[in-house]
Structure formats: C-alpha cells, structure tokens
Amino acid sequence: MELRGKLQEILRDIEENYLPSVSLDLVVFGFHESQLKVLLLRFKDSNDWILPGGRVRKDENLDEAAYRSLRERTGLDRLFLQQFHTFGNVNRMTYFSREETLERMGLAEAAAGLWDSTYWANRDISVGYYALVDFTGTVPTPDFMADECRWWDIAEVPHLLFDHNEMIRLALRTLRRQLSYQPVGYNLLPETFTMTELQSLYETILGRSLDRRNFYKQILHYDVLERLGKRPTIPASKAPYLYRFRKERYEQLLNDEDLSVG
C-alpha cells in the first residue's frame, strides 16, 4: 500500500492547490539541419505516448504554470513558450481510460477509488502552448510518471492519447502562420548564416519548398537581417553572403502592432 499512499498524496496536493477543470499541454518543436521534431513522453510501463502537460496552481499565472510544467516533466528550461489554442470539447478525454492504463501499469488495485472526488468529475479545458528550439541543444529528462521523453520526427508521430495529435496539428499551423507576420530563426541557426540556410529553416517548418526570389523579398521586407562579409570559400566570387539577425529589430517585430485601447 506504499504506492497507494504516494498516489493519494499527489492527488490530494492537486485537489488542494491546483485549479479544477483546467490543464495545459506543451508542443515543443525541435529543429536541426532540415529536420523538424516534436517532444513526446511515454507513460510509465506503457506504449502510450503523450505531450508533456500539467495543471495550474491557484497561486500562479497561467504562463508560469506552463514553464513550471515543462521544467518538471521534461527538465527543459528557458524556452520561449507561446499559447496557440485552448481545447475544450466534451469528449476530449474519453479516448483515455484511466482504469485501463492503471491496470496495464499494474496499479489498478493501488489506485482504486482515488479519483472519485468531484475534482476529477469533469473533463479539463486544456490550454496549448508551443515552442521551437534547436533539439541538439536540449537534453530532455522524463519525470517519474514517464519512462521516456524523446524527440519524434513530425511525420512519424504515433497515435497519441487524448486530443494530442490534434494539438500538434494546430500548433504546427500556428507556427507556420507565424512565418507570415514574424521572423523565426533566432537561436535555431548559427550566429551567422547564409540566406540559403535561413530558407531551408522556413522550408522545413512549412514542409514545402519556397521560391528563392520571393523568399528573399519577404525576409528583406522585415528589415531584420544585417549583411556581413562573404563566407570564406574558394572561389570567392561564388561565396554566399553571411547574415545575422539584428536582435533589437527582431524583438520589436515579436511585439509589434501595439495599440492603446482604453
């Protein structure tokens, strides 16, 4: 009954300190050299993959809860998380049988009755956040609820619990749309890069190739790049120019379109 005691303690802490009927889920995209991946957790003693997620403490802001959950569940810190959608269909959690999962984990007996409180009676409204990072710079670590925490190729994501496949789909749509009104790439490319490398990043996110001339025009329109010298190659006449982001302008574009209302 040691395990039952532990579970009970966790659930009591949640019921006392966390908001009822609200949760959050995190879609962390990883980019490196023309590959786009997403971070998934595998439930302990199971083949069930899910997005990392969490709940909101009564005394913390929603955004804080997202960063804390990311840290607790994956060990990752200092990412830039952005909200993309909130999921609230009545049946969004019915794909998941808590009992079945517990049984597979050999925990059915230890956990019997623990979720009977009204706190757990309704589905959660889940707030989705996403981030885009260089996956070679991150070492995700699973929490005690998971056996594994690893990067999956976007094209190979398995069937996930809950509505988590739909979450990834919508997060990816948001990320792609973001390309049309904000620059992307800071911290994903080396400090200096060629236009071809930047275009490759965009193409990887969009999942399609782009017209080179239109791409140059759109990017230059942001006025966010500083052109440096040429990359040292032989012959020099064919060497591409190197660029770097103008950090101030980059951040200005991330917080643009300000308007005072009231």
22 part of the interface to a copy of itself, by CB under 8 A: yes
C-beta closer to a copy of itself: residue 83 or 192: 83
60 near a copy of itself, judged by CB under 8 A: yes
Interaction residues for a copy of itself, span 224-253 (CB under 8 A): none
Q: According to CB under 8 A, which one of 5, 158, 190, 240 is a site residue for a copy of itself?
A: 158
Gyration radius of the chain over CA positions:
22
| Residue 261 binds to a copy of itself (criterion: CB under 8 A) | yes
Cβ atoms 30, 135 nearer than 8 A: yes
Least distance in Å: CB of 56 to a copy of itself? Answer: 7
180 binds a copy of itself (CB under 8 A): yes
DSSP assignment of 89-134, as one string?
-TTTTTT--HHHHHHHTT-HHHHTTTT-SGGGSSPPEEEEEEEEEE
77 touches a copy of itself by CB under 8 A: no
Main-chain phi, psi angles of 122, to 5 degrees: -110, 160
Whole-angstrom distance, CA of residue 154 vs CA of residue 244 = 28
Q: Select from 100-108, 156-164, 183-191, 237-245 the region that touches a copy of itself (CB under 8 A).
A: 156-164
If the CB atoms of residues 56 and 102 are measured against a copy of itself, the closer one turns out to be 56
The owner of tokens 């019921």 is 15
In angstroms, what is the minimal distance from the CB of 180 to a copy of itself?
5
Residue 194 belongs to what H/E stretch? none
Roughly how many angstroms between the first and final C-alpha of the chain, as a whole number? 58
Binding residues for a copy of itself, rule CB under 8 A, total 43
Nearer to a copy of itself, 69 or 193 (CB): 69
Q: Buried (b) or exposed (e) across 86-121, using 16+ Cβ within 10 A?
A: ebeeeebbeeeeeeebbebbebeebbeebeeeeebe
Q: Which residues have a Cβ under 8 Å from the Cβ of 25 and sit 6 or more positions away?
A: 51, 52, 53, 87, 126, 127, 128, 129, 164, 167
Among 159, 229, 235, 237, binds a copy of itself (CB under 8 A): 159
Residue of 1, 234, 236, 259 that binds a copy of itself (CB under 8 A): 259
The answer to whether the Cα torsion of 251, 67, 64, 83 is positive or negative is: positive
Per-residue burial over 50-81, b if 16 or more Cβ lie within 10 Å, else e, is bbbbbbbeeeeeeeebbbbbbbebbebeebeb
Of 13-21, 69-77, 94-102, 246-254, the segment contacting a copy of itself by CB under 8 A is 13-21
**Positions in 89-128 near a copy of itself (CB under 8 A):** 89-90, 122, 125, 127
Can you tell me which of 12, 98, 150, 169 binds a copy of itself, judged by CB under 8 A? 169
- Verify binding: residue 56, a copy of itself, rule CB under 8 A: yes
Shortest spacing between CB 217 and a copy of itself, in angstroms: 11
| Interface positions with a copy of itself (CB under 8 A) | 19-22, 56, 58-63, 65, 83, 85-90, 122, 125, 127, 154, 157-160, 165, 168-169, 172-173, 176-177, 180-181, 207, 257-262
